[in-house]
Chain A
Amino acid sequence: MSDFKALSEAVNKGDTKTALVEAQKALDAGSSAEEILNKGLITAMNEVGDKFSKGLLFVPQMLRSAKTMQECTKLLQPFFQEGDVLSKGKVLIGTVKGDLHDIGKNLVSMMLEGAGFTITDMGVDVSPEKFVEKTREVKPDIIALSALLSTTMPAMAQTIEALQKAGLRDKAKVMIGGAPVTEKYAQQINADSYASDAGSAVNKAKALLGIS
């Protein structure tokens, strides 16, 4: 039994190299992968989240911690056992058709991943058809759509319509975001949720799936 102090510190600092060494040490010492994930990595990320909301950390620092956690999770992957609770949920994410902007979407992805979600990132300029196709394949809990331009916002509505026609709309929650997007627009196009920034995206995603 370990308190994973050094691992937690490395995740807090976003020091991937040290974190990987510490995670390996914990495995060698006989800790289970699930234990390392839940008591080491996720606990550390919760601390990071707290510090961020108190203004003690900046977004880049939080994202680096999230990245460190991802790398450690990859290391642990082969050691997980059946029945281990590994993911808070699957999120399919992309910037909608006609829009090439991805920094906001990338931030949301990283934050969600840091919070324990499994992400499938489809990149930019993703057509409604591609979203439908990937939804069938991945079976996500949440489909997250991003747009920066007011001119590409309608593609969000088109994507939701396409999901509807394909009979997939009620298989997953849809959340949307991006600079011109509003709560009102989300209601208008029958999205399930809207997040105004990367931080609130995590809370909204958790709320959609009824988890904390």
Chain B
Amino acid sequence: MGRSLPVFKPLTPADVRRIDQTSRQILERIGIRIKDDAILDKLKKAGAQVNHHNQRLRFKEEWLDKLLSRAPSQFTLYSRDEKNDLSLGEGEVHFANGGRVFRILDIANGGYRLTMLRDIARTAMLVNHLEHIRFYVIACQAHDVEPQHYHLNDFCNAFNNTTKHVMGGCDNLEGVRQVWKLASLIAGGEERLREKPFFSVITNPVSPLTIGPNAANILSFCATHGIPVTCASAPIAGATSPATLAGTLAQMHAEALAGVAITQVFSPGAKVLYGAVPATMDLRNIEFAMGSTEMGMMGASAVQLAKLYNLPIRASAGVTEAKRPDIQSGVEKSFSNLMVAMAGADCILLAAGMLDSGNSISYEQYTIDNEIIGMVYRVLSGIRVNKDTLSLDVIEQAGPGGNYVMEEHTVEHMMEEFFYPALSVRCNFDIWEERGRPTMLSRANDLVHNILTEREEVEEGLLDPDLLLEVRKAFPEIRNI
């Protein structure tokens, strides 16, 4: 990394403090509604101000600070291959795809269809192959699986097709429990999983200021079982939060801090990510707008707010309203990915594969986003300035009118100095015509085809066959994979 992050701070230090003060007032005066009495009891015993009548949990400043100070400022999201372990809180930015969409664009016929279990397997294969997408998020709804077995089937397919860390949005406690059992079996025991948890869970509050029973119970389960978790606040400015960006940030920050604080009640030191998905509404027609410039700005601001408490953050970027990989998707994705990465977010979700306001995916978009993210990483790595890179001797040797193409210095530096895109078209006009006028999208389509055929021809998942037999025996609900 060339320069230490952040290199982009949309908020001044004074603005950060004012937003934080407002959030603390929200938590103390208004509080969070938790729609689960058993959880409220637990919180009350731990020193919370609870009003059972209106299910309201309030955070006194001291209590809030005590809880927040317990949350770890650094931890690791483990992979199963040890090569893709992701350290959080150490100034690294890790991009991932986005999850739980229900539609997929089929480039071959130009149409959309519902997503199936095989789409989870294939998107996991893609992410396993694409170097800049550093972990996998359960990408879509498996419409061919019974809802009560979603999570088990989803995660099993993910584990079988990528060894990178797997994160997934979960609906209910039972689903998380099933996945935890499955992962324990794969890890070779609960303790080994606890030591190096290779999956993590996303749940969400409901803006404004509400945490449902499922989310609360998932937070409790994850905290006590050592599973990294995030309770990602996802307000929509103008709809479920104020129309002002500052107001939305204040509410989002309150919700995100509440999520972090609650996990620390259940288990001090529990691995938790500050979660932020601040979106907007196009008020002309009340249309959801995740590709808005403001979403990127707020995503970057959320990093500043999380870092005020030294909390690792699961931020969001790279979303678009575009329905196909096109100019709009390229512009919107690049804009927010760059902003949020330059702000120094530990994890950036939604950044690959998504289209259509996070409702659709496309295989091609995964490869295109991998390239956009590669460009972002190139920006983050900065410009190396030292005696060798300044090249005075080489400039002298080439002299006026010389060239540098053949210099040893060129060969020495050419790999690390430049980002080499796999999909952008850089050939000259004649060669471009000879090759049948390729575009980024046509090349993305070729790459997807290569990756998937290569993997599917092998017809073997990444889980050991013996282990897979054990898994099938223990979980008859898992479909043949």
Contact = CB atoms under 8 A, between A and B. Distances in A.
A106 B406 CA distance: 11
B148 interface: no
B414 A197 contact: no
B430 A63 contact: no
B430 A103 contact: no
B405 A103 contact: yes
B453 interface: no
Contacts of A102: 401, 403
A197 B403 CA distance: 17
A102 B406 CA distance: 14
Contact of A110 (B406, B407, B429, B431): B406
A61 B405 contact: no
B406 A60 contact: yes
A196 B403 contact: no
B404 to A, nearest CB: 9
A63 B428 contact: no
Interface string B360-403: 00000000000000000000000000000000000000000101
B405 A196 contact: no
A103 to B, nearest CB: 5
Nearest to A179: B428
A15 B266 CA distance: 64
A15 to B, nearest CB: 10
B442 interface: no
Nearest to A57: B411
A122 interface: no
Interface residues of A, number: 19
Contact of B431 (A59, A182, A196): A196
A197 B431 contact: yes
B450 interface: no
Interface string A68-96: 00000000000000000000000000000
A49 interface: no
Interface string A189-203: 000000011001000
Nearest to A63: B406
B428 A197 contact: yes
Contact of A59 (B401, B405, B408): B405
A200 B431 CA distance: 10
Contact of B405 (A63, A179, A197, A200): A63
Which range contains the number of B residues in contact with the other chain? 10 to 19
Given A103-B405, A110-B406, A60 B428 contact: no
A99 B307 CA distance: 57
B405 A107 contact: yes
A115 to B, nearest CB: 16
Contacts of A14: 411
B411 A103 contact: no
Contacts of A63: 405-406
Given A196-B430, A196-B431, A58 B406 contact: no
B410 interface: yes
A26 B71 CA distance: 69
B406 A196 contact: no
Contact of B428 (A59, A67, A196): A196
Contacts of A47: none
A202 to B, nearest CB: 15
A61 B406 CA distance: 7
A173 interface: no
Contact of A61 (B403, B411, B428, B430): B411
A182 B430 contact: yes
Residue from A63, A102, A179, A182 whose CB has the most chain B CB atoms within 10 Å: A63
A106 B403 contact: yes
A179 B431 CA distance: 12
Interface in B156-177: none
Contacts of B410: 60
Nearest to A182: B430
A121 interface: no
26 contacts: A14-B411, A58-B411, A59-B405, A60-B405, A60-B406, A60-B407, A60-B414, A61-B411, A63-B405, A63-B406, A64-B408, A64-B411, A67-B406, A102-B401, A103-B403, A103-B405, A106-B403, A106-B405, A107-B405, A110-B406, A183-B430, A196-B429, A196-B430, A196-B431, A197-B428, A197-B431
Interface of A: 14, 58-61, 63-64, 67, 102-103, 106-107, 110, 179, 182-183, 196-197, 200
